[in-house]
Amino acid sequence: MKSVFIPLLVACLLAATPGLTAPAKPADNATYSELVPPFVLVNADRRDHVSLSGPWHYSVDPYKDGMADFHGKPYDVTKGRGSDVNVEQAMKDDPDVFYEYDLARAPVGTVPSAWIGYSPELRYYNGLMWYQKSFDAPAKTGERQFIRFAAADYKTMVYLNGHRLGEHEGGFTPFSFEVTGLLRPTGNNLVVAVDSERTPESIPTQVTDWETYGGIIRDVTLVTTPKTFIDDDFIRLTTDGHIRADIALEGDSKAGQAVEVSIPALKLTLKGTTDSEGRLSLDTRAPKTLKRWSPDAPTLYDVTVTAGADTLTDRIGFRTIEVKGTQLILNGKPIFLRGISLHEEEFGPNPSRRITPEASRALLTEIKDGLHGNYVRLSHYPHSEITTRMADEMGLLVWSEIPVYWAVKFDNPDTLKTAQRMMAENILRDRNRASIILWSVANETPISDARNQFLTTLAHEAKALDGSRLVSAALLTQTKRVDGHIDITIDDPLIPELDVMAVNTYNGWYGSDKIADVPGTVWHSSFNKPLILSEFGAETMAGVHDPVREGRFSEEYQATYYKDTLAMADKIPFLVGMSPWILKDFRSPRRQNIWQQGWNRKGVESENGQRKMAFFVLSDYYQKKADK
Ligand code: GCB
């Protein structure tokens, strides 16, 4: 059985998931292992690894021909047919071999990057792409090796030296395959098929308001571990002032293994021995010298976990986050989230979702220093681990979400499982990041019984995987006209399952309400819970001015919209933060007109980072809030 440390997960999922069947006996945990990845490989980006990023061959396959025979029947790759064999032949460089795929001579693009950046012909390509990389892997005895993809969008099939390693669905979370015993010292042939085409059953579905950046969008690494290794650790400060570490080992010697967790700067060492499942929990009162992580003082500690031959080091911040009535409490004190939303798209005229540390720092610096922010909504899917580590380091609180966006197939049990897996992969990757305070389960989903059940399952799963953070979802509301003012009541039936309410609101941009009526909006909630305005925004193209008329798409309109919406926000008594839509203009293929030209222009900066007038309205507002 998989030994990730999630004591409550199974019980909660079974209670909350009508479609899932109970395991035959408590120890035989099929449901559970279906949802969590076979290997968490926690902290993999800091483990001993060889980077497989860099130049890769790529070859488009718009008919998905490499996946089927000429009558469209799927190849049974285990029987030695299929494109991986084709590739093997092509590698022999033999002119007598007949092949129609020749990846070894195909064009070369850089991994990681969406293929959109490889050539102008691929600008709107949405389908199957074959990738190939040759690499050497000098023999390592007594160790285990894994090929890890930090993310590939959307569905990925992986073949190594003619073996099918497996597949993964979902564009934004990591996955790994064990390759111990499958590697050659030289000339390994790694073939990867990435299909960016989504179906109505996918998460998200085909239509979103952002670019589908198909491809291997994050790093690929060959990770080495000892035979028995630390697969998962979850180290945090609890609200009662304890440092708690849950550890899970994988491998033959995982049971009865001595484990040590040390934080040298705190002179703290915790020791224990794993149980028969390879798991262990350690707990101690946090020393008085502990400096709590916060946006103002983002203190990170070097933490080392040792188990047998394995040693894992991480940089971890310790802080608490809670809700008390309608307040949000960070480290025991109320906090207001001065945030903004962000898509995973680097600055520049031709982004291809290449999030390097420099690209991530450039985006987050605009929020932290430019806007005087303390918070970012990483919308609408899990962003790179580079970004969540950067937020830890720079001191920005984070909302992390999975792309259950608009109307997905809420009544389809397989779609639910896909969403549950994404949630598990995201939380297991990032639950040691102090910056993350909120897991969001959805964005703007239409209310129905099926949707309520689906999202309730996800909310319970998030809590079961990580009881130390808060759960939210970006919701919709209805607006009414009452006695001449706009009236908004928050009444989504999902709210009882959430710690924090969040609403996207666009009065004054979408809909018939006038911008001048926005400040007088009256908000009602019958829940004793805090509210975040998870989105509001209006569009302009940087540099378009209309100071007299303040027409739509002018900078003046957007700036006035911000002033009026912030005036409205000041009057919501249960408001604890906001993440206006959005830091910078981002690609959205569905927006084709003279103003937008394929971009959503609600950025307070252009795609190149040019600040619009609204940027300064928001920045002044946040500076005043920060000074209070
Ligand atoms: C929303 C969506 C976001 C869109 C935005 C817009 O409510 O959550 O993905 O991009 O509106 O610009 O319309």
Distance CA(341)–CA(343), nearest Å, equals 7
- Give the pLDDT score at 105: 81
Ligand 1, atom nearest to 539 Cα: 12
> DSSP letter string over 256-311?
T-EEEEEEGGGTEEEEEE--TTSEEEEEEEPPTTPPPP-SSS---EEEEEEETTEE
CA dihedral 154, 155, 158, 164 (to 10 degrees): 180
Ligand 1, atom nearest to 588 Cα: 10
Distance CA(356)–CA(335), nearest Å, equals 30
Question: Which DSSP symbol is given to 367?
Answer: I
Establish how many alpha carbons lie within 13 A of residue 566's alpha carbon, considering only the half-sphere containing its beta carbon. 21
- Give the pLDDT score at 34: 82
Q: Which one, of 496, 501, 457, lies nearest residue 477 by Cα?
A: 501
- Give the pLDDT score at 95: 59
Distance CA(104)–CA(57), nearest Å, equals 7
CA of residue 424 to ligand 1 center, whole Å = 25
CA of residue 375 to ligand 1 center, whole Å = 19
Ligand 1, pocket-test mutation among 504, 587, 595, 599, most atoms within 8 A of CB: 504
CA of residue 309 to ligand 1 center, whole Å = 49
Structure tokens of 205? 């579905």
- Give the pLDDT score at 63: 86
Ligand 1, atom nearest to 444 Cα: 8
My answer on whether omega of the bond before 621 falls inside 30° of 0, hence cis, is no
Q: At residue 24, what are phi and psi to the nearest 5 degrees?
A: -60, -45
* 104 neighbors 91 (Cβ within 8 angstroms): yes
Looking at residue 252, its amino acid is: D
Q: What's the per-residue H, E or C state across 161-228?
A: CCEEEEEEECCCCCEEEECCCCCCCCCEEEEEEEECCCCCCCCCCCCCCCCCCCECCCCEEEEEEECC
Pocket of ligand 1 contains residue 602 by CB under 6 Å? yes
CA of residue 270 to ligand 1 center, whole Å = 46
71 Cβ contact partners less than 8 Å away, ≥ 6 residues apart: none
Pocket of ligand 1 contains residue 584 by CB under 6 Å? no
Pocket of ligand 1 contains residue 585 by CB under 6 Å? no
Nearest CA to ligand 1 atom 7: 504
Pocket of ligand 1 contains residue 540 by CB under 6 Å? no
Ligand 1, pocket-test mutation among 599, 600, 601, 604, most atoms within 8 A of CB: 600
- Give the pLDDT score at 102: 74
User: Strand pairing partners for 63?
Assistant: none
Pocket of ligand 1 contains residue 535 by CB under 6 Å? yes
CA of residue 178 to ligand 1 center, whole Å = 39
* 441 neighbors 480 (Cβ within 8 angstroms): no
Pocket of ligand 1 contains residue 211 by CB under 6 Å? no
Nearest CA to ligand 1 atom 4: 209
* 506 neighbors 519 (Cβ within 8 angstroms): no
139 Cβ contact partners less than 8 Å away, ≥ 6 residues apart: 183, 185
Pocket of ligand 1 contains residue 444 by CB under 6 Å? yes
Angle at 586 between CA 582 and CA 591, to 5 degrees: 110
* 259 neighbors 3 (Cβ within 8 angstroms): no
Helix axes 385-394, 413-430, angle to 10 degrees: 40
CA dihedral 441, 444, 448, 451 (to 10 degrees): -20
CA of residue 601 to ligand 1 center, whole Å = 11
Q: Which one, of 207, 230, 170, lies nearest residue 46 by Cα?
A: 230
Angle at 431 between CA 231 and CA 196, to 5 degrees: 85
Cβ-based neighbour number of residue 94 at 10 Å: 10
CA of residue 519 to ligand 1 center, whole Å = 21
> DSSP letter string over 386-442?
HHHHHHHHHT-EEEEE---BSS--TT-HHHHHHHHHHHHHHHHHHTT-TTEEEEEEE
Pocket of ligand 1 contains residue 504 by CB under 6 Å? yes
Q: What is the mean pLDDT of the chain?
A: 91
Ligand 1, atom nearest to 208 Cα: 9
Pocket of ligand 1 contains residue 581 by CB under 6 Å? yes
Which residue has tokens 């030209």? Answer: 597
Q: At residue 542, what are phi and psi to the nearest 5 degrees?
A: -55, 135
Distance CA(24)–CA(446), nearest Å, equals 35
* 442 neighbors 423 (Cβ within 8 angstroms): no
Distance CA(211)–CA(585), nearest Å, equals 12
CA of residue 405 to ligand 1 center, whole Å = 10
Ligand 1, atom nearest to 600 Cα: 12
CA of residue 465 to ligand 1 center, whole Å = 28
Pocket of ligand 1 contains residue 392 by CB under 6 Å? no
CA of residue 450 to ligand 1 center, whole Å = 23
Pocket of ligand 1 contains residue 600 by CB under 6 Å? yes
Q: At residue 603, what are phi and psi to the nearest 5 degrees?
A: -60, 145
CA of residue 600 to ligand 1 center, whole Å = 9
> DSSP letter string over 134-168?
EE-----TTEEEEEEES--BSEEEEEETTEEEEEE
CA of residue 209 to ligand 1 center, whole Å = 6
Cβ-based neighbour number of residue 547 at 10 Å: 9
Pocket of ligand 1 contains residue 354 by CB under 6 Å? no
CA of residue 381 to ligand 1 center, whole Å = 13
**Residues of the chain where predicted confidence (pLDDT) is lower than 70:** 1-32, 69-70, 75-101
Q: Which one, of 172, 209, 217, 173, lies nearest residue 192 by Cα?
A: 217
Ligand 1, pocket-test mutation among 506, 535, 601, most atoms within 8 A of CB: 535
> DSSP letter string over 42-84?
TTGGGSSEEE--EEEEEEEETT-GGGB-TTSPBP-GGGT-SHH
Pocket of ligand 1 contains residue 346 by CB under 6 Å? no
Pocket of ligand 1 contains residue 209 by CB under 6 Å? yes
Q: Which one, of 505, 569, 493, 500, lies nearest residue 528 by Cα?
A: 500
